[in-house]
Structure 1
Amino acid sequence: MHPKKHPETLSKLGRQMNVYYFAYGSNLDSKRLTGRCPSAVKVKIAYMSNFTLCFPQCNQAGHLVAGFCESKDRKLWGVIYRIEDKDIENLYQAEGFKAGRSNSSNSYLKISDIKLSNEDGSPNTYKVITFKQNKEKMQPPEGKLHSDEYLRFILDGYEEHGLHAKDTNTYSRLKSYLNKQSA
C-alpha cells in the first residue's frame, strides 16, 4: 500500500505502516476483527458524540447491519484498533468498500480524521478511519432482522471492552433484539 492512497496511514521509521480504525459494530469483537485483520491490536476505547449505533441497511443476505445515526446527547462507543497496512484490504472488503470506486458503488463509505472523545471525556481529533453506511445504497430495513451471529459479535465486543457498562441503553436494546429473535 502506498501512503498517498491511505492518508490515515502512519509511518514509524522503518516499521510496518499502520492504520488506526474506529470499530463500533461487529468488529468490536476482537476475535472477529483479528480473523479478518490478524495484525489488529486494541489501542483505546473512545466515543463519538451525538451519534448512536443503529441498523439502517441490510447486507447481501438480507440481514440488518450496523451503522451510526445522529442522536443528540448520545454516544457511539467503540474501540480504536491499530491495523498493519498489509491487512487493510481485508477490512475494506468486509466493510463493502473498495478504494477508487465511486461512492455510489460502495456499501459503506470510509471516513477519516474523526472527532472522538477519549474514555475520560476529553475530546480529540484522531487520524483514524471508520465506515459509515452509504445512504445511496441503503435498503429499507422494515421487516428485516439481524442475524443472531451478528448481534452476538456486537454484544461480545461490548462485554469484552466493558462498553456494556458505559452504554447500558444500547447494550439492553441489542440484548432485546437477540431475545426477540430467539423466542
Structure 2
Amino acid sequence: MSFYYFAYGSNMLPARLVARCPSAQVFGRAAAPGWRVEFWKHGRDGSGKATLIEDTATQVPGVLYRIEDGDLAALDRAEGAGFGYDRLDDLAIDAAGTALRVASYVASHPEPDLLPFDWYLALVVAGAEQAGLGADHIAALRRHDWQVDAFLARAGRQEGLRALTAHGWADAAAVLQGQAG
C-alpha cells in the first residue's frame, strides 16, 4: 500500500526526500488552496523551516509524491512529527484538476520571527524550480530573508548540500542567486 504526500518545502527536491524515504516517487505538481507557505516552524537547529499557514486568499504550489506505507515512520521522524510538526492526513489539494486528500505537515506552534538558513531556503527554491512551480512563486521564495548557517559541519546542512549537488547545483548561493544549476 502507499499514500500521497504533499511537499511544499525542502522535500520538494526529490534527492532530499528519496534520501529519507527511498520509495518516494514524484507523482506531479499540486496546490493546496487556502494555505500559504511561511518559514515559521522552529527547527531543531534554531532556524525557520517551511510550514503551511491558513490563508483563504491564496494557495501553495508544491510537489505530490507517492510513498510506500513502510516509509511513513521514516518520514514522520525526518519531519519531527509530534515534535514541532503535526502530520495532517487529510489535506485537501488540487492535482491537475483532481481533488485529493493527502498527507502533509504543519508547524505545531508557528513562530513568525524565524528565518531559514541559506542552505535550507536553497533546497526549497531548487525544489520549486525542478518542479516548475512558476516564476512568481520561485521569485517570492528567492526574495525571502534568510540567515547564513555559521556551523559549516552541521549534519543537516551537509545533507542539504548533497541533495543540491545531486540535482546539479554548485552550492546554496547559486540557487538563491538564480544561477543555472
TM range (shorter): 0.7 to 0.9
Shift of residue 171, structure 1, vs aligned partner: 2.1
Distance 1:116 1:149 in 2: 28
Other-structure match for 2:86: 109
Q: 8 Å contact 2:22–2:71 — kept in the other structure?
A: yes
Unaligned runs of 5+ in 2: 149-172
User: What residue number does 2:9 align with?
Assistant: 25
**Residues 1:84 and 2:58 aligned together:** no
Output the CA distance in 1 between the equivalents of 2:143 and 2:32. 24
Give the number of the structure whose alpha-carbon radius of gyration is greater.
Answer: 1
Q: CA deviation at 1:175?
A: 0.9
Partner AA of 2:49 in structure 1: V
Deviation sequence 1:66-97 (CA, Å, 0-9, x none): 10112232111111111112222111111101
1:124 aligns with 2:99: yes
Cα drift, residue 177 of structure 1: 3.0
How many residue pairs end up in the alignment? 150
The answer to whether the 8 Å contact 1:23/1:79 transfers is yes
Identify which of 28, 31, 46 aligns with 1:44.
28
Give the Cα–Cα distance (whole angstroms) in 2 for the partners of residues 180 and 62 of structure 1: 11
In structure 1, stretches of 5+ residues that fail to align are 1-16, 98-104
* TM-score, with structure 2 as normaliser: 0.74
Code of the residue aligned with 1:159 in structure 2: it is: E
% identity of equivalent residues = 31
Q: So what's the TM-score if we normalise by structure 1? A: 0.73
Tell me the amino acid that sits aligned with residue 67 of structure 2: I
In the TM superposition, structure 1's runs of 4+ consecutive aligned residues that sit over 6 Å from their partners are none
SS at match of 2:103: strand
> Is contact 2:116-2:146 (8 Å) kept?
no
How has the CA–CA distance of structure 1 residues 180 and 92 changed in structure 2, closer, same or farther, with 3 Å as cutoff? Answer: closer
Alignment of 1:92-107 (within 5 A): 92-97=76-81, 105-107=82-84
Alpha-carbon offset, residue 19 of structure 1: 2.0
Letter in 2 for 1:134: S
Question: Which position in structure 2 is the counterpart of 1:5?
Answer: none
Query: Structure 1 residues 123 and 132, CA, compared in 2 at 3 Å: closer, same or farther?
Result: same
Counterpart in 2 of 1:159? 129
Report the CA distance between 1:180 and its aligned residue: 7.8
Q: State the alpha-carbon separation in 2 of the partners of residues 112 and 179 from structure 1.
A: 30
- SS, match of residue 134 in structure 2: helix
Distance 1:141 1:49 in 2: 21
Structure 2 letter corresponding to 1:117:
D
> What is the RMSD computed on CA atoms of the aligned residues?
2.2
Which letter maps to 2:93?
Answer: L
Residue 77 of structure 1 aligns to a residue in which SS? strand
Measure how far apart 1:164 and its partner are: 3.0
